[in-house]
Structure formats: C-alpha cells, structure tokens
Structure 1
Amino acid sequence: MRKLFSLLFILPYAYSCSLAQAPSKYANLITEESSKAHLTILASKEFEGRGTGQEGGKKTVKYITEQFQSYGLKPIVNGSYHQPVSLVRVAYNVESFRLGDQNFVYGQDFFVQGDNSAQSIQADEIIFVGYGIQDEKYNELKGVDVTGKVILLVNEGEPVDASGNSIITGTSTKSTWTSSRFKRIQELTKLNPKLILAASSQNDEMIKRIGGRSLMGRVQLDKGTAANNSTQAAPVVLVNTAMANQLLAKIGTSLEQFKAKTLTSPEPAKTIKVGINAEMGVKREKLDDPNVLGYLEGSDLKDEVIVVCGHWDHDGILPNGTIFPGADDNGSGTVAVVELAKAFAKAKKDGKGPRRSILFIALAAEEKGLLGSQFYVENPIIPLEKTVACINIDMLGRIDDKHLNGDHNYVHVIGTNKLSTDLKPIVEKANKDINLILDYDYDRPDEPMRLYYRSDHYNFAKNGIPSLFFFSGLHPHYHTPEDTVDKIDFPMMVKRERLIFNVAWDLANRDTKPVVDLPLEDAKGTGR
C-alpha cells in the first residue's frame, strides 16, 4: 500500500513537472521563418487585402482552413471549420451618371450622400442657385421654384461686400450659413428638389480620401431587417472642382470667379442648359464570410475552453485597384493564431496536450464593427458558460510611435484590470523566460484611445469571460496601403507570439480557471 501511495503521489507531480517544462519546447516551434512565410502569403497582392465579401477574403479563409486541417485540429461546426457569419452590405451604388454627352465616375469625380432606393434621375436642365442661402437678409431662393428640379450650389463661403464683410452679419465674422457644415443643404432639401449638386473646392480632397472606400459601403450583421428604411430626401452629389467648373462655364463663370464676386443682393437663379441622366441608389447584398474555427480537445479539464482569436479581415481592394495589405493589421495576429495552433497541436501529438480545450478562431469582419466576434458570442459553437478565458491578438508585428525611439522589446497588454485579478499574474509569470517589457498604459482608466473596447475580445468580455488583448501599437501606416510585410519586425513579433503561447499554456493547464472578481466597467462606464 505504501508503494502504491508513493506512486500515486509521484505521478501527478511528474505530470505537473512535465507541463511546467513543456512550454519553452513548444513555444520555440514558433519561428521567424514560419511566421514570415505565413504573413508573406496573407499580405500578398494575391490576397488583395483580405476584404470582407471579396476574393482575397475567400483565399484567406481557405488558407487558414488548410493550416488548421494540417495540424489535426477538429472541425466542430457540424463537421466544418467554417461558421458562416450572416452579413449584409449596404452601399450607395451608381450605375451611371451622365451630364450632356459625358460620363462621370462615382468615387472619382463625385460622391453621393443619400439613402434613396435605386432610381432613375433625368432632367433637361440644372438650376444654379448661387450659395443656396435662404436668409432674411439674403435669400437666393426667394421666388424660385425648385420642386422636382436638379439644382447646383456653391457649398462654401458666403456673399461679401467690397470690404470683405459678410452681407449677412455685416462684419468680418461669417454667418452660420458658412460655419454650419450642413445648414444650407438641409434647408434646400425642404424645398423638395430632385437632386442637389454641391460644389466646393474642399470636395476634391474629400473625394480623393474617401471616394473609393465609399464604394465598399458599410457592412452589418444581417438580423433580417435589411429592408430599405430610406428617408427619400433628395440625394446630395458632392462634385469635384473640374466637374463644377465644367457646368459653371456654361453660364460664364467658375467656382473661384463666383466666390471672388462682391455682392450686395442675390443674383437671379440661372439655368444651365445641360441634360442629366443618372441611375443610382442604395444596394443591399447578403454576405456570409465565415469565422474559421479549429478545436483542440483537452484532457481532464476538456469541458472548459480557452478561446485564442484574431481577425483575418482587412480593408481589401478598392475598385481603383488600391490594395490595403494589412500586414500588421491583422495579418500579424492571424499568423499568431495559426502559429499557436501549430505549437499546441504538436504538444498534444507528443502526449503533452493542454488540460483544457482550446478553440482557435480566425474572426471575420472585425474591421466592419467587431461583427465576427459578435456573431460568435450570439451563436456560440461551444456554450459561453464553458469558455473560461479569451486571448485576442490584433496587430503584433510593428514598433509603435511611442516606442520608436526607445526600447523595442515590449508588448502592450490590455485587459489585466478587467474581470479577473488572475490575469496580470498569469501574464507576468508567462513573461519570465521571454523578458518583454509589459506595457500596461492602455489599461489606464483615463486612457483616451479606449482600445479595450475596440477589438474582438470585448464581445467575450461583455459576456463575463476574462479577456486579454495583446497589441504592438499604432503607427503611421495603420489602415493605409503602406502596411506591408517589409515593415514587420519579425524577431519582436515572434517574442510576442511566444509570450502569448506561454499565457495560453498557463490558462489551459492551471488547476483553477481564472476567477471573475472584478467588474468590466466602473460606475461611470469608462473602464477600471
């Protein structure tokens, strides 16, 4: 009996020692070579920025699926690795826009603000209403019937006298017709025109900045409420300077010439004899980009689950061919999820698998509003009450502005002061053989970026699941076409991946799950 008792005592101790020794062996399977190989593919031109609803997104899903399958992770979504996320894309679609005999390009020559359903807009003429101001001291629409008409206005500046004073205020101070960005447009829509063309020198930069992105529309979860709830107000077409001057030339002026005039009273509205023919309106399209799930079953605590996640999507490719590679955001986080899956799968193959199960998730549509993670927690494949912790990895490969001229050996750790007092000790223990600087600045209650609330882990945290967010910080190439692989610091990225592996190892193998003993937010709702 004594010998058997001794064996029973020694075996758990030996198992515990085995687990304690295992992390570095398997963490070292995460390498610069393998991380770079994955990221070079995911951020390549062929993957076109991994856009939601785009071909590059489909290639990304296929690639991640192949990795999970090769590691032997289980497909637990009814035998599949894919959890389709029900999405709907709402975009303003311009089939055609023609003035006279010339076609103009949406997102390049003009941009539309409107929510009307698809309609045909035709007219034989355009009414120029100057600044479009309707003020008791200066009313350019007095006696002008624009009901059902197409109108053009100069949507900047206001009439001034020879001294440069505003005709409306009588001083150098501009009126609310100028200081209020939308006032004149809002007042004009009350007159029920068919279409408003708004000219401004500021439109050129605005169209250049967001014109192409606007064609992508907005994406939301499809809750079965995709009906057109439009207001049917007149669409507002913001035209660039060239397009405005082409129209104004027909009445002998230009945008700059008109703004340079001194005026004491409104000029009569002028008719521009040019036909307009347009087909445009809101278009809704259903999408089902999936979350990619790979399941690694645990041993004695297999009913408890750790989620390791990162979003696979980025901004994709614009209609003009501009690609947003998203090497850091979030190609780096996607690679980290894949690399951790590889390391844990190898540990299990060697008989040293985790006690708790681990669900690796590459999440869809984070860039559209954390939609993939929201969909998962609303439709969990494993009950949320069995999910004991979440690790989210979003941007792991760069040196941020804060550390650029300092020590690069760091990682931002976010969420250590929310929900569980166990999280910070776990991270610090995991860091002992990695020796990164653990930057907790984003956990400060007064931190203005509020990053804890801006990535996928937050949807898990809202459900009471202790959650950590690992992040390397913001940089000038964030959400630009310059977020490319050549700027990734792979030695630092791998150190961070190995730290996260150690954290996940501890969470998956410790005797007790993380205690939930802190509120998610303080009384003011601003975070602890």
Structure 2
Amino acid sequence: MNKKFLYAGIGLLLSCTTFAQKQDKDAVKFSAVINKDVAYKHLSVLASDEYEGRETGTRGAWMAAEYIKNQFKSFGLTGPVKDNSDPYFQPVGYSSFPVIGNVVINGKTLESGKDYYFQNNSVSSKGTSLQSASILFAGYGISKDGYNDYEGQNVAGKIVMVFATGDPTVAPAPAPQPGQQARRQPIAGPTANKVKYLLDNKAAGVILINPILDNVTPQLARMINGNPILTTAERLKNLDAGAQLPVLNVSTAVANQILAAANLNVEGVKGAITASKKPSTQLINVSINAQASKKEQKIRAENVLGFLEGSDPKLKEEVLVISSHYDHIGLVADPNAKDKVNNGADDDGSGTTGVLLVAEAFANAKKAGKGPKRSILFICVVGEEKGLLGSEWYGEYPVFPLKNTITNLNIDMIGRGDAAHPDNNFVYIIGSNMLSDDLDRIGKEANNTYTKMFLDEKHNNRTDPERFYYRSDHYNFAKHNIPVIFYFNGVHDDYHAPGDEVDKIDFPMLAKRSQLAYYTAWMLTNGKDRPVVNKDADGKLIK
C-alpha cells in the first residue's frame, strides 16, 4: 500500500472519531444557502472575462469590489468604515511612483517604455541624472577567475554599459517566450551581481542592454516601473533605499546605436566574445544626457467590509474576522495569447465566493433571531497578489481593535484539488495550532461534527518549504498574535495561469469547504470563551 494514502486514511479515521459532538440544528438549518448552485452564481460573475482578472488598481478589481459590496448590502450586513463616504470600502493607501525620464544619446531623444526605462528603485525621489561624453562598454560585465571584462579598467566615475544577462563562459539559458518575464523584476540574480560590482567600484551609472525591451507588450509597459507600494510611513522611508546607482535599461536597437560609434553591434560583439572567450571592453565616444524623477500617483484600491453585529451585549465587542482576497493577476502579458485573461476562479474567486456564502448564511440566521453572540467582520481584501497589501493595511489601520479580534478564518483557494488527493474530499488547514490549541481543537471539532473531510496538515508548520503559512492574508493577523486558520486546496497546473477557469471548479467541494469555515465560525462566535492564545510567535507554549 502506498504510504501516502495509508497515512491519509489513518488521519481521516482519527479526525472522524475524535471530539465528535451533537450537531446544532440551527447551524445546520442556516447552512442550506452554502451550496454549489449559489457558489456558481457568485463565481461565474467574479471570474468572468468581463472582470479582466481583477488585478489591483484596475477596472476589473473595482468591478469585483462593487459586486462584493452589493452582495453584503443585499444580505443585510452593514458597512463599518466610519471615515469613508462608502462605509463598505476601506481605501488602501496604495500608490505607484512611476519614473518620468528624459534620455538623449548622441543628440537623439529616446522614447520611454520603448527604447528605455530606468530601474525604478535606482532613481531617487529627489531626482537622478546621468551625463557624460563617453560610455564604457564592458561586454557582459563579469569579473571572475578566467574571465574579467574589467581587467585593467577603472570604472570609477564612468557610465558603464553591459549586457543585462548572459555569461560567455557558460551555456546560454533558453530564450524566454514573449511576455514571459513581464512579472519579474528585470534586475535579479546574476544581473544584480553585475550592478553591485559597479556600485562597489563607484561607477557613475549603469546601462543594461535588456532584450525585454525588444518586445514590449501593453502589460509589460505598465509594469516596468515595478510594483506599486503601500504608502505607509515605514514603506516611504525605504523608497530611496536602492537609489545609490542609476540603472538605465535600453533596447538592443539603442545599444546598436551606441556601439555603432565603435563600428560594433550587439550580435557581432556577442559572437566575438563567445568565440574568443576574451573581453571586448572599450570606451565609446558617445554622449549621454539623462534625467529621471519620481512622482507619486495614487491608485484606487479598497478592502470590502461587511459587518454582522453579535446578539450578546457582553460578547458582541469580540469580533471574528472571515477573509479572502478578491484580487488576482489580471491580463496575460503575451499579446499573441489565445486566452488573454487570468480569471483566477480558484485563486481566489473561490475563497471570495466562500466568504459570500458564509456571510449570507449568518445574515439569514440573524434575521430569524438566531444570530451569533459575537460579531463577525467579513472582509475581502485587495492587493494580496502584490504582497498581502490589503490585509497588511487592515492590520495597521483596523476598523475594530485587534485586541477584540478573536480569530481570523482565511479562505484562499478552495475550488480545486491537487494530485495528492484524488477523491478531493479534503482541505489543507494551516496555522490552526500555531498560536492557540483551543482554535485547533474547535476547528477539528467542527469538521468531525459536520463536514467530515480529511484535514491535511502537511503545510501546517513554519518550516514548510512552500512557506504557505506566510503566503496568504491570515499571516497579517497572525503576526499581531491573532489565532488563524487558513483553508486551502493546494496549487495545481493552472495556478496563476489563464487555465484557472470556472469550468474547472469542483463546486460541491467549494461549498463543503465553505461549510467547514461556517461551522467553525458558528462554534467560535457562540462558544462560551474566545480561543486562548497559549503559544508565542515561535510556537512555544507560553508559561
């Protein structure tokens, strides 16, 4: 017998026989709305092509926010944000700092976004300039045993041009497909080492010959300035952290204009260096006059909040937060792609659908006089794909005091499955025992009593190689010492790809996993005591 499934079976047996209790008839009654048909109704809208992949700061994300808000309102949830014209929206301080540049080489003005772009974090908010009557071409910009583009050269005070990628002493990597690098920082890995060498040796600036500019897609044109950031005071302090050496990326065509002054071109010089394994470093008499500056541009982004006040006067100040992220990664960068929308049906249209299902169930219970004793905040956050930004913002500017927040149940990807669970009757739970053994017990008791799935804890640790504990919005509650459970179905071949479509969703399992979150929430909001935090940030018992 395969050990993986043997252990899974043992885990299921244990989870179905431990802590079982009598079902609450009211909890079961109001769970009826958490079903596959209602799930399909929501997800077929949120993950439709019309919503354009819901990228933060775009029309599709704003449409999704409006849809979620209108659903919350229709359920009877209130908007709890007091300092905004729309109480269902918590504006997130999200801004981009695009570089405005002017580059003239040998008297010819270049076109930003087509011929060149400045590396965003290399430009100071106070402005950056590059001026010289010559440019030092240093081939691949490599300095190592056996090959040194800088042998006999003093780069101090010079503007140095090098190939952004490549090493003539090793076999070349496969060429990227059009648009493939659109979501990566253009400076990374070996390229960063090339720039660091020039910084350490006091060069005046760097020109990177970057082939990413040879095929600029509309998506890439929006992204080459780098991801926008939260405009918190701490983030703004670091805005100029990398602005020690100006880095200008240019296209192959621009590089050829520069090299032409020395009767060279990119293809020829690469071939010569590769054939001889010898550098081709030389000073080229070409003038450059470039200036760049940053200017903040605020981006519309909002968390969507719906509030259900608790029924018990003594307990309603305590708040359970149930969350998902409604944003995804937007449109496909490749203009030739047949499918141009990253629909994000599973990631995280499924989790957002789950939040809507649970919200409606609790709202129905309250209308019938069976509402939870503690309050519930349903929050669909923005900017998760940009670095958990929406939940980070809520953690810094909470609508309800964090000390009153008893738990966060976070739902991120519950509509599919993975190869390890062919019957798909499972969910990964992450974080449940990290801070509170009480929460772990309650979550498992809810499953054993009502949903009876296999709760896979493979990723439920801080040393998981995939680091899932740190990769979704629950973490921005856990870091504030709030117990969390993250419900997750694992990654699949369509993760962050156009294939993450509605027609691949297992709606019965989406509903069942949502029911687990609902029943766990029912027990948390109606229980005698809130979960005790009995472990520290390292998982050690608090004495």
* TMscore range, shorter length: 0.7 to 0.9
- Which residue of 514, 522, 529 maps to 1:497? 514
Q: CA deviation at 1:364?
A: 2.4
Query: 2:219–2:333: 8 Å Cα contact kept in structure 1?
Result: no
Query: 2:110–2:116: 8 Å Cα contact kept in structure 1?
Result: no
Equivalent AA in structure 2 for residue 390 of structure 1:
N
Query: 2:308–2:377: 8 Å Cα contact kept in structure 1?
Result: yes
SS of the residue 2:409 aligns to: strand
* Partner of residue 388, structure 1: 406
Quickly say closer, same or farther: Cα 1:111–1:436, change in 2 above 3 A.
farther
* Partner of residue 423, structure 1: 439
Say yes or no: does 1:186 pair with 2:203.
no
Quickly say closer, same or farther: Cα 1:379–1:101, change in 2 above 3 A.
closer
State the distance in 2 between where 1:400 and 1:340 align: 24
- Which residue of 226, 236, 240 maps to 1:229? 240
Moved more, 23-32 or 391-400: 23-32
Quickly say closer, same or farther: Cα 1:75–1:231, change in 2 above 3 A.
closer
Query: 1:92–1:115: 8 Å Cα contact kept in structure 2?
Result: no
Quickly say closer, same or farther: Cα 1:511–1:268, change in 2 above 3 A.
closer
* Partner of residue 5, structure 2: none
Q: CA deviation at 1:336?
A: 1.0
**Structure 2 unmatched runs, 5+:** 1-20, 171-188
State the distance in 2 between where 1:399 and 1:368 align: 24
Query: 2:54–2:330: 8 Å Cα contact kept in structure 1?
Result: yes
Equivalent AA in structure 2 for residue 269 of structure 1:
Q
Query: 2:43–2:349: 8 Å Cα contact kept in structure 1?
Result: yes
| Aligned positions, number | 487
- Which residue of 212, 217, 229 maps to 1:219? 229
State the distance in 2 between where 1:96 and 1:336 align: 50
Between the aligned residues of both structures, percent identity stands at 37
* Partner of residue 299, structure 1: 311
* Partner of residue 115, structure 1: 122
SS of the residue 2:236 aligns to: coil
- Which residue of 314, 324, 329 maps to 1:315? 329
* Partner of residue 269, structure 1: 282
Q: CA deviation at 1:125?
A: 6.2
Query: 1:39–1:485: 8 Å Cα contact kept in structure 2?
Result: yes
CA RMSD of aligned residues (A): 4.1
* Partner of residue 91, structure 2: 84
Quickly say closer, same or farther: Cα 1:271–1:410, change in 2 above 3 A.
same
* Partner of residue 426, structure 2: 410
Q: CA deviation at 1:436?
A: 1.6
State the distance in 1 between where 2:150 and 2:464 align: 48
Give the alignment of 1:319-358 within 5 angstroms: 323-358=341-376
Query: Which 4+ residue blocks in structure 1 deviate beyond 6 angstroms?
Result: 95-102, 107-111, 122-125, 134-137, 143-146, 200-212, 318-321
State the distance in 1 between where 2:309 and 2:200 align: 62
Q: CA deviation at 1:393?
A: 0.8
Give the alignment of 1:453-468 within 5 angstroms: 453-468=470-485
State the distance in 2 between where 1:280 and 1:373 align: 33
Say yes or no: does 1:483 pair with 2:490.
no
Quickly say closer, same or farther: Cα 1:23–1:110, change in 2 above 3 A.
same
Q: CA deviation at 1:474?
A: 1.3
Q: CA deviation at 1:421?
A: 2.0
State the distance in 1 between where 2:450 and 2:164 align: 64
Say yes or no: does 1:58 pair with 2:62.
yes
**Structure 1 unmatched runs, 5+:** 1-16, 161-178
Give the alignment of 1:427-466 within 5 angstroms: 427-431=443-447, 432-444=449-461, 446-466=463-483
Q: CA deviation at 1:286?
A: 3.1
State the distance in 2 between where 1:308 and 1:263 align: 60
Equivalent AA in structure 2 for residue 428 of structure 1:
K
Query: 2:431–2:460: 8 Å Cα contact kept in structure 1?
Result: yes
Quickly say closer, same or farther: Cα 1:522–1:389, change in 2 above 3 A.
closer
Equivalent AA in structure 1 for residue 423 of structure 2:
D
SS of the residue 1:443 aligns to: coil
- Higher radius of gyration, 1 or 2: 1
Query: 2:346–2:415: 8 Å Cα contact kept in structure 1?
Result: yes
* Partner of residue 70, structure 1: 74
The C-alpha deviation readout for 1:420-478, integer Å capped at 9, x for no partner, is 22223322332233232111111145422232232222222233322211111112322
State the distance in 2 between where 1:95 and 1:26 align: 62
